[in-house]
Amino acid sequence: MAKIKAFKAVRFNPEKTDIAKVMMPPYDIIKDSEKYYKQDAHNIIRIDKGLNMEGDTELNNKYTRAAAYVKTWLEEKILKQDEKEAVYIYMQEYNLPDGSKKEMLGFLSLVKVEEFEKKIVLPHEKTHSAAKVDRLELMRTCKGNTSPILSLYFDAEKNTDKILREVTVSHPPVIDTVGEGSCRYRMWAMTDPAIISKISGLFTDKQLFIADGHHRYETAINYRNEMRQTLSLRGEDNPCDYIMMCLISMEHSGISILPTHRVFKEFQYTEVLSSALAKKFFEITRLDSPSALRAKMTARSEKKRFGILHGKDCLLLELKAEAYREALKTMTEHVPEYYMLDVSILHKLIFEDVMGLDYAQLVKTVDYTQDIDEAIKAVVNDTAKIAFLLQATTIEEVKNISLKGDVMPQKSTYFLPKLATGFLIYLMEGN
């Protein structure tokens, strides 16, 4: 069902730039933009996440500057467009919070933009309108997309995985560099039409599940519709009908999903041990130390587990699944699988039902971290009142929610690795 195709990517010219200095993390996780501005005069941040400047106008702003950089850098050969269409195989090392390294394998190509209702490309999380406005304006001025969407597909038999790995051992990479955290990045430009056709054929019956990049995908839909109306485009094989994606297999790519713990500097705490409702739905154990709670929360368990660290209280809550499933019969706003998500249980059952708190208000004061030690340290060092520790959402849960046509609460998933921005740019003109 998914239509993928090769393209002529725009890439930084290795004769004029050091790719390690011009790439950056995804725009939406960067906190210090100045760092990348200072790193290199040609860092991709000037295009993908430009700074607002004093005196900006409708005709002179970060978006128009981004388009000007693309034009100038192409003229100066800082950026060059590949002569042949390719599918780009991508391998990235990445760091886990405990300091260990993993490696992810995927490939970048164009993917035909489809409405979610067609169930070819599926979302799993809610999005914010502000981010979509930003990405749409950038797409309008640059006429392309400058950072890839990360999407998942199923490949249990390793059909695609085998092809990708064969290329990595039989061909030299066009990029081989080391970035932040001493992580290695490699990319291969695979131009063989027979191999490209074989990979494309493997996706004619596949669905894609967006992991990171919901805003950019919805923006691509809006931009395509805008271009069809503005330019009176007909048919469905124009450059604006496609978006650049990094596609990775759910089973064999090496991707990770981390839990996102909730930390509050201020919190109106309700003692859960004295709550009849808490006892109805949870087995509650008081542990003797934060380290004991950490050990429980990081150990493999078939049960839904939640940790609460408040002052000297270290509580482990284990869901009584049978009692909770009975209660689900009265919850009809979402599909049943939604209410079984760890984040949903925390927000609805623990915060709202057991503690009597309004999550819409709570979310205004919450801090998020994927590092369990950081969450624990905040409470132990008295820089936060309370921490709620979660287990990670599973790939299967992402799939099930997407297939059911529902979306997860925000901050339900945190995928690693975060793809580097700056290796490839998709410009519609020339493709």
Phi–psi pair at 139, nearest 5 degrees: -65, -40
H/E stretch holding 171: none
Per-residue pLDDT at 300: 87
> Pairing state of beta strands 175-178 and 184-190?
antiparallel
DSSP-derived 3-state class of residue 338: helix
DSSP-derived 3-state class of residue 368: strand
Among residues 219, 286, 265, 297, the alpha carbon closest in space to that of 387 is found at 265
Cα atoms in the 13 Å half-sphere on the side-chain side of 404:
18
Residue 259: CB atoms within 10 Å: 22
Q: What CA–CA distance (Å, rounded) separates 82 from 30?
A: 28
| Tokens describing residue 171 | 């061909």
Q: What CA–CA distance (Å, rounded) separates 199 from 192?
A: 11
Mean pLDDT of 164-183: 95
Beta strands per DSSP E along 207-300: 208-212, 242-249, 256-258, 261-264, 282-286
Residue 339: pLDDT above 90? yes
Confidence of residue 363 (pLDDT cuts 50, 70, 90): confident
Question: How big is the CA angle at 104 (ends 198 and 138), to the nearest 5 degrees?
Answer: 85
Per-residue pLDDT at 128: 66
Confidence of residue 149 (pLDDT cuts 50, 70, 90): very high
Compute and round to an integer the Cα radius of gyration of the chain. 23
pTM of the model as a whole: 0.90
Domain limits, the chain = 4-256+416-427, 260-391
Per-residue pLDDT at 411: 87
Residue 298: pLDDT above 90? yes
Q: Which residue has the tokens 């051992």?
A: 169
Q: What CA–CA distance (Å, rounded) separates 66 from 69?
A: 5
Mean pLDDT of 102-127: 91
**Distance, C-alpha 239 to centroid of its chain:** 24
Mean pLDDT of 27-44: 94
Q: To the nearest whole number, what is the mean pLDDT of the chain? A: 93
Per-residue pLDDT at 409: 86
Residue 178: pLDDT above 70? yes
**Distance, C-alpha 414 to centroid of its chain:** 6
> Pairing state of beta strands 10-12 and 79-81?
antiparallel
Q: What CA–CA distance (Å, rounded) separates 404 from 401?
A: 5
Phi–psi pair at 275, nearest 5 degrees: -90, 120
Q: What CA–CA distance (Å, rounded) separates 199 from 274?
A: 58
Q: What's the pLDDT tens digit per position in 385-400?
A: 999 999 999 988 988 8
Residue 11: pLDDT above 90? yes
Q: What's the pLDDT tens digit per position in 340-362?
A: 999 999 999 999 999 999 888 88
Please answer whether residues 151 and 211 qualify as being in contact, where contact means their C-beta atoms are separated by less than 8 angstroms.
Answer: yes
Residue 1: pLDDT above 90? no
Per-residue pLDDT at 407: 87
Per-residue pLDDT at 127: 66
Residue 424: CB atoms within 10 Å: 25
More confident residue, 185 or 364: 185
Residue 228: CB atoms within 10 Å: 16
Amino acid in the structure at residue 237: D
CA distances to 106, 130, 348 from 247, in Å: 6, 26, 33
